[in-house]
Structure 1
């Protein structure tokens, strides 16, 4: 697990581990190895024995690694891993400090154009989903904003609430309670459909940004070379777990949808995301 023991990544990993343990009758250990933009934990799985006993939970930022660290990664995100299944998807939500004089995405864009480079947006660090989501928004909307990176989502949200920064794109589970409490102002969600957890918040497309869509996805990988029959067994069990009513309900309460897939579907999705975010990283000159 290349993430700290918090957030939805951890919820997903521990949910799968608990159910795998019940099915197979042997311990399944969740080993949190955060750090290095998820490179540290990912590298352990890339170099593990290809027997299906060591698995990796990944999310959207995994597809940003090839362009963000071009030529510097100790592994290849496609060649060194064997996709098992997509697992879940969630929108980012564009939220603002209540003091920001914009109550819609159109008003935010107009404000940014009137004050180029003055508005600030927070992120959980370079290459994170909220960072590339904001840079993608800048590109599509034709605006300029100042990036303020943090070491994680929690301090970014804290400073947004405190007014030290103006806006943030963040995974819905990280901000929805602050929105409901009136501490943050929601402007849009980044998926093509509205979230059941925030049904009154428009999508970016409904808000007037026609070409903008970001779904923060989560998936499960094994090590490249894992036998196809083992991958098939892992996929079948993962899909079974994800479709359990109690798992769907638990994820839905966090604003996350179950998105199970075949290994081939996950492979194609990963390649598509690598291409999409590679373009954003290059054009935005993210380093």
Structure 2
């Protein structure tokens, strides 16, 4: 077709370039890319916090509640472990004594604490074995309110009298006190404690009706024993070792199946005629229920490492504690068997808490 002006007129006129439209399109692309990057960053961060919080633990001091008075056997053991474990965890473990009601006051405090790994309890056979069967109204549930960390050690008890007491063995003590039992009350570290039940079991099996004087903890009871204001006290060897070595109190008998390696010259109750008498205690480490498993496992592993050190092991033995570290699962099994066992002892001794 020959070229003509009419054909040229039919072609659409070229459109001029619009710089504003191009800039707007570039901005929209930029915003889409920026939004995608923000979404990816937020997604990555949101996946980490729960794990990271446990991995960073501990970031501040840890509180160890000891539900008995300072200076007692549980306190001595707890302070030694707190110091050693602090070194490995990289944060101080601060001991707080909260005595009262056979250890129930401090134990209840831990049960209600935030389960973040920054509050732990050094419990015992009193707090998690006896109290659940002795008290009708306990301010905590020994099983459901706690996350078990570890069984620490077991211990034997000793029956001790003032240093100048006239009796030197169990039979002499029974003969003397039977003649006038009202003159010879026994002290304990509080209603419902192992100290109380050990004395009540002795009263039951020996037939000597000694009166019971409960103290807020073993420390004031031990002070009155040394002063001769009470005639006898049953407590763990850990609590009395120093006073025995100083001659301020005199051991009459130990309460285990075999003699204590700390007091090898002191015969057991069984050796001295009370064939069925056997009682002892134990120490545990607990955390509030729902404390993350990763944290309780870390504490258990640190405890196990510390107790395996020769100086710590030897020190525990020297104060009357037999090291026996077991983890959370084994501790659950231990409590499941110990609580019924203590119920039998409570029923046999006829112990009551008013």
Q: Return closer, same or farther for 1:7/1:163 CA change in 2, 3 Å cut-off.
A: closer
- 8 Å CA contact 1:132–1:277 kept in 2: the answer is no
How far is 1:99 from its partner? 5.5
1:64 to 109, 115, 130: 130
More helix by share: 2
Counterpart in the other structure of 1:284: 351
Q: Which whole-Å CA distance do the structure 2 matches of 1:181 and 1:22 have between them?
A: 32
Going from structure 1 to structure 2, the CA distance change for 1:267 and 1:99 (only over 3 Å counts) comes to same
- TM-score by length of structure 1 reads 0.87
For the residue of structure 1 that corresponds to 2:152, the secondary structure is: strand
Mapping of residues 1-287 of structure 1, within 5 Å: 1=65, 2-62=67-127, 63-70=129-136, 72-97=137-162, 100-115=165-180, 119-282=184-347, 283-287=350-354
Query: Which deviates further from its counterpart, 57-66 or 23-32?
Result: 23-32
Q: 1:34 to 1:177 in 2, by over 3 A?
A: closer
With over 3 angstroms needed to count, the CA separation of the structure-2 counterparts of 1:96 and 1:55, relative to structure 1, is: same
Using the alignment, how far apart are the partners of 1:10 and 1:230 within structure 2? 23
Q: What SS does structure 2 have at the residue aligned with 1:284?
A: coil
Contact 2:101 2:190 in 1 (8 A): no
User: Shift in Å at residue 195 of structure 1?
Assistant: 2.1
Deviates more, 1:175-184 or 1:190-199: 175-184
Deviation at 1:216, TM superposition (A): 2.4
Distance 1:45 1:154 in 2: 22
After TM superposition, the score normalised by the length of structure 2 is 0.72
RMSD of aligned C-alpha atoms? Answer: 2.5
Query: 2:21: which partner in 1?
Result: none
**Matches of 2:174 and 2:125 in 1, distance apart?**
25
Secondary structure of the residue aligned to 1:106 is helix
- Give aligned pairs, total: 286
TM-superposed CA distance for 1:36, in Å, is 4.0
TM-aligned CA distance change 1:265 to 1:137, over 3 Å:
farther
C-alpha separation in 2, matches of 1:18 and 1:91: 24
Question: Aligned partners of 2:196 and 2:295: how far apart in 1?
Answer: 36
Paired with 1:207 and 1:159, the residues of 2 have a C-alpha distance of 26
Distance (Å, rounded) in 2 between the aligned partners of 1:37 and 1:166: 21
- 1:20 match: secondary structure: helix
Distance 1:226 1:169, change over 3 A: same
**Given that residues 254 and 269 in structure 2 are in contact (C-alpha distance below 8 angstroms), is that contact kept between their aligned partners in structure 1?**
yes
Residues 88-131 of structure 1 deviation map (CA, whole Å, 9 limit, x = unaligned): 22222111235655332233334445546553211222122211
Distance 1:105 1:47, change over 3 A: same
* Contact 2:158 2:234 (8 Å CA) reproduced: yes
**2:8 corresponding residue in structure 1:** none
Go from structure 1 to structure 2 and tell me whether the alpha carbon gap of 1:68 and 1:229 turns closer, same or farther (over 3 Å shift): same
Deviation at 1:191, TM superposition (A): 1.9
Alpha-carbon separation, structure 2, partners of 1:56 and 1:83: 10
